[in-house]
Structure 1
Amino acid sequence: MAVTADQEKAVLDKVPTGLFIGGQWRASSSGATFDVEDPATGRTLRTLANATPEDGMAALDAAVAAQAEWARTAPRERGEILRRAFDMVTARADEFALLMTLEMGKPLAEARGEVAYGAEFLRWFSEESVRTSGRYSTSPDGKSRLLVSKKPVGPCLLITPWNFPLAMATRKIAPAIAAGCTMVLKPANLTPLTSSLFATVLQEAGLPDGVLNIVNTTTAGDVTGPLIEDPRLRKLSFTGSTPVGRNLLAAASKNVLRTSMELGGNAPFLVFEDADLDAAVNGAMLAKLRNMGEACTAANRFIVHESVADRFAAAFAERMEGMTTARGTEEDSTLGPLIDRKSRDKVHELVSAAVGDGAQAVTGGSPVTGDGYFYQATVLTNVPRSSRILQEEIFGPVAPIITFSTEDEAVELANDTEYGLVAYVFTRDLNRGLRIGERLDTGMLGLNAGVVSNAAAPFGGVKQSGLGREGGAEGIEEYLYTQYVGIADPYAS
């Protein structure tokens, strides 16, 4: 059943419109506001306070003021707050899913999947909060004792992207809470509503004032720049494009900030001649169309053995043709809009350039006429290896296919990119799968699987895809530093 206007209004009315600083919702110090748009219709969903540099500094002041007491809070108490938040988000899954669909565009079924995924970071790190450990040992020469412990790194700046409004927030906020860090969150101005609603949940779950502060703004650099330069800030975590990440790393170097960077991707999807083609096509649909292709983990280049390329392309195109482009709140929607006109225009520019180079559109290849920023699910074959579409992150529902003949050639093609976030390999030969995995320059690998994201696993890449890991046992380490205490020999006279 399609969502009604009353249901939409009910969830939007629950979203605070202010900045969240020191446990209070407040207007921008300048009185400025900005509109959040529905990408399926272009209409304004909500008007929010637009933070100034002064507001950003007030948020950091609040985080700094809360840091010492929060760091002393018992790990079990921090974990219980996260567990309560998990229960509350899960209970309100329909609200969060609808809100994400409205501000980001993804179909409701997919939004519900993100709620489940995003909530898992709350549950996972509620358990990790009590597992931070150190060690006590005798020095090798026996003349002292070594005490090693982990401590919260301190106030953090968290910058999240627009494509997964809940999961990208919980993936950073949950480990920071578990580790005992306070934070300033700067959500993407295209999709800030979910973060604001999530803040109300954390407040209700018992998170103390000042531990989480949120500054929504359309002038990100002006607001975050002074925070990065402030010596009180000790950690920067960013998810977004590689060019922006490089700039942030340069800025963070001044104060030698701890940094986590989850940046761009150009994921190869390898299909070998012995692959189960039905499984490969199913995996391709998941790896390509999750979030309409607007994901750093999206399969960007389909590298298929020449002996099965035609069959794979035909089956893949048939599945892509079955997708229904519609507003995510519609019952039959399986492919929502892209986030804005600029993004849709870039996708079409890449497709047009590829076709101009000689590629053929087996299906799709054009924007969808009418309201919103929809693009057809597209499969391209005969794509020249020099085409831009194989070099740049597409961020849309477009699948370019190229072929290979040998294993060495497949690996060479897959590694021919500055990125190294994730790769996908489909083969029935387990030894081959493991062998290829060892040869690929990638932080993550989906072996006969089109989805790799899991709160219990370390998410992150190599090369220009970033630094650090989110999720898994590794995720909390990004928010901790190691302290060593040398103790005199207790047997010395």
Structure 2
Amino acid sequence: MSLKELLAGAKELLAPVPTGLWISNQSVPAASGKTFPVLDPATARPLAQVADAGVEDALRALDTAAGAAAGWAGTAPRERGEILRAAFEAVTARADEFAHLMTLEMGKIEPESRGEVTYGAEFLRWFAEEAVRVIGRTSAAPAGNGEILVIKQPVGTALAITPWNFPLAMGTRKIGPALAAGCTMLVKPASETPLTMLLLAQVFADVGLPPGVLSVLPTTSSSEVSSALMSDDRLRKVSFTGSTGVGKILIRQSADQVLRTSMELGGNAPFIVFDDADLEAAVDGAMAAKMRNGGEACTAANRFYVQRGIAAEFTARFTARLEAMRVGPGYDDGIDLGAIVNAGQLEKIAGLVNDAVAAGARLHAGGEPLPGPGYFYPPTLLTQVPADCEIVHEEIFGPVVVISEFDTEEQVLALANDTPNGLASYFYTRDLDRARRVAQALEFGLVGVNRGVISDAAAPFGGIRQSGLGVEGGVEGIDEYLNLKYIGL
């Protein structure tokens, strides 16, 4: 596809996408009149200019959310569920449009963007069904002096802060349970990828979501906007997906108003291959766990541990698979790996690899950024990485594999658990007893056994330790947006 054809196609696609702030079911300019560019990471060219929210805009959106809160909480659960179901159907019907938009603003290949549409829409369908299943309990008081009635009620207005790596799914995973529970919501999408969330807001309005229930605030002043909202006592909940460092700041800020918080923070996922594993299946799983979304995922495998007897063979097979990947713009046919989201992320990946190589790591594939325009880094594989290298301890968030060898189960469990994070983990074995032991011993909120992809709208998603608080998805996800109330009768 020529650049001229690409730009013409992007202009046609973006024509119906709102580029203002989304407040009261309308696309409106920022009070300041300011805008900021959204770039295509495959070309480093602007796709659109988007309204840049400030504190005044955020408080205006909060006014509308607070004003709509009682009405939405009082809306019948079935009606709330039907609106979510209609949004699911509308997003699914426009899957190609959403997928292409995500590829344009985030850089992933279109097949993966289509997969995200399926995954992201599923949260709307799942919580459409959960809206009518908010169940309390009743029992006789043990003393025989009355009844104990426990009910669940909406927390109130919530703020969702979403990252750039999954522009649709990280929003629907928060919006779905919030709306199902009867909460109004403000969404602050990442400045790299606001267009997908703005289009989703338009879809919700089209299917009948009342004004004020959902607002979207693109901004380049994230900390100022978030701080202003979180210091207002009308906000009662904040849900954040992003780095552990930013999460800690938000947790501290939430203390002033004693806000309910959900935090899905950084990961440092181990991927363990025991010598009794199906080697080809393990390589397939490794490709999925590492290369899905170009490695730009909090669940991406970060540290590969392979038992010594099969390490050479596993490394050779994995290297061959990586070297066969075709790198290029995600909207081109036949591409296996798209662009890195921005120049800063590309620089970070290159720095981690360069530091490891300088410290003595062996490079098997890749290792240097590709020429532009755009931000591309090839599939890269390292072995013999010194244990004190930063790349072993930091989330790579890119298409870089680090393989280490181990000898015993006890040794690898100690290595895998040697991290302050605790989000995702993976291992491959054909020994059922070992599978049970290792799954229980891994100190992570998510464990994949002989699977490289484990995310599911029907399952609780959340980490332990410094990977976060609370869960999203599953029957448990809606409880993050509900308060318990005891009534003595």
TM-score by length of 1: 0.98
> 2:98 is matched with which residue: 96, 99, 111?
96
Aligned-partner SS, 2:103: helix
User: Residue 313 of structure 1 aligns to which amino acid in structure 2?
Assistant: T
Q: Which residue of 2 aligns with 1:231?
A: 233
Report matched runs for 1:90-239 at 5 Å: 90-239=92-241
User: Residue 78 of structure 1 aligns to which amino acid in structure 2?
Assistant: R
What does the per-residue CA deviation read over 1:404-454, in whole Å, with 9 as the maximum and x for residues that have no partner? 100000100000111100100100112111111111110000100000110
CA contact (8 A) 2:187 2:214 kept: yes
What does the per-residue CA deviation read over 1:255-284, in whole Å, with 9 as the maximum and x for residues that have no partner? 110000000000000000101110000000
What does the per-residue CA deviation read over 1:323-370, in whole Å, with 9 as the maximum and x for residues that have no partner? 111100100111001111110111011101111111111111111112
Q: Which residue of 2 aligns with 1:421?
A: 423
CA distance in 2, matches of 1:282, 1:395: 19
CA distance in 1, matches of 2:192, 2:6: 23
User: Residue 8 of structure 1 aligns to which amino acid in structure 2?
Assistant: A
What does the per-residue CA deviation read over 1:370-424, in whole Å, with 9 as the maximum and x for residues that have no partner? 2111001011011111211110000000000001100000100000111100100
CA distance in 2, matches of 1:46, 1:14: 12
- Shift of residue 465 of structure 1? 0.3
Aligned-residue CA RMSD in angstroms? 1.0
Q: Which residue of 1 aligns with 2:487?
A: 485
Q: Which residue of 2 aligns with 1:431?
A: 433
User: Residue 127 of structure 1 aligns to which amino acid in structure 2?
Assistant: E
CA contact (8 A) 2:422 2:443 kept: yes
CA distance in 2, matches of 1:445, 1:127: 26
User: Residue 431 of structure 1 aligns to which amino acid in structure 2?
Assistant: D
> 2:44 is matched with which residue: 42, 45, 51?
42
User: Residue 129 of structure 2 aligns to which amino acid in structure 1?
Assistant: E
CA distance in 2, matches of 1:200, 1:431: 51
User: Residue 212 of structure 2 aligns to which amino acid in structure 1?
Assistant: G
CA contact (8 A) 2:10 2:47 kept: no
- Shift of residue 135 of structure 1? 1.1
- Shift of residue 101 of structure 1? 0.3
Q: Which residue of 1 aligns with 2:387?
A: 385
> 1:263 is matched with which residue: 259, 262, 265?
265
State yes or no: 1:67 paired with 2:100: no
Report matched runs for 1:76-95 at 5 Å: 76-95=78-97
CA contact (8 A) 1:150 1:482 kept: yes
User: Residue 270 of structure 1 aligns to which amino acid in structure 2?
Assistant: I
- Shift of residue 6 of structure 1? 4.0
What does the per-residue CA deviation read over 1:154-206, in whole Å, with 9 as the maximum and x for residues that have no partner? 00010000000000010000110100000111000000000000011100111
> 1:297 is matched with which residue: 299, 308, 312?
299
CA distance in 1, matches of 2:290, 2:330: 18
CA contact (8 A) 2:65 2:214 kept: yes
Aligned-partner SS, 2:453: coil
What does the per-residue CA deviation read over 1:104-125, in whole Å, with 9 as the maximum and x for residues that have no partner? 0001111000000000000000
Q: Which residue of 1 aligns with 2:354?
A: 352
CA distance in 1, matches of 2:49, 2:6: 21
User: Residue 96 of structure 1 aligns to which amino acid in structure 2?
Assistant: F
CA distance in 1, matches of 2:185, 2:6: 36
What does the per-residue CA deviation read over 1:204-237, in whole Å, with 9 as the maximum and x for residues that have no partner? 1110000001111001011110110111110000
> 1:310 is matched with which residue: 292, 309, 312?
312
Aligned-partner SS, 1:307: helix
User: Residue 273 of structure 1 aligns to which amino acid in structure 2?
Assistant: D
CA distance in 1, matches of 2:103, 2:270: 28
CA distance in 1, matches of 2:50, 2:32: 13
User: Residue 75 of structure 2 aligns to which amino acid in structure 1?
Assistant: T
Aligned-partner SS, 1:236: strand
Q: What is the number of equivalent residue pairs in this alignment?
A: 487
CA contact (8 A) 1:16 1:196 kept: yes
Same amino acid, percent of matched pairs: 57
CA contact (8 A) 2:25 2:202 kept: no
- Shift of residue 4 of structure 1? 5.2
Unaligned runs of 5+ in 1: 488-493
User: Residue 21 of structure 2 aligns to which amino acid in structure 1?
Assistant: L
CA distance in 1, matches of 2:76, 2:415: 50
Unaligned runs of 5+ in 2: none
CA distance in 1, matches of 2:22, 2:371: 39
User: Residue 31 of structure 1 aligns to which amino acid in structure 2?
Assistant: G
Moved more, 378-387 or 60-69: 378-387
CA distance in 1, matches of 2:373, 2:9: 21
CA distance in 1, matches of 2:279, 2:164: 33
- Shift of residue 10 of structure 1? 2.0
Q: Which residue of 2 aligns with 1:491?
A: none
CA distance in 2, matches of 1:438, 1:360: 33
Q: Which residue of 2 aligns with 1:490?
A: none
State yes or no: 1:396 paired with 2:398: yes
CA contact (8 A) 1:385 1:402 kept: no
Aligned-partner SS, 2:235: coil
Q: Which residue of 1 aligns with 2:289?
A: 287
User: Residue 436 of structure 1 aligns to which amino acid in structure 2?
Assistant: V
User: Residue 334 of structure 1 aligns to which amino acid in structure 2?
Assistant: D
Aligned-partner SS, 1:37: strand
User: Residue 388 of structure 1 aligns to which amino acid in structure 2?
Assistant: E
Aligned-partner SS, 2:476: helix
Aligned-partner SS, 1:308: helix
Aligned-partner SS, 1:61: helix
User: Residue 170 of structure 2 aligns to which amino acid in structure 1?
Assistant: M
Q: Which residue of 2 aligns with 1:12?
A: 14
CA contact (8 A) 1:147 1:486 kept: yes
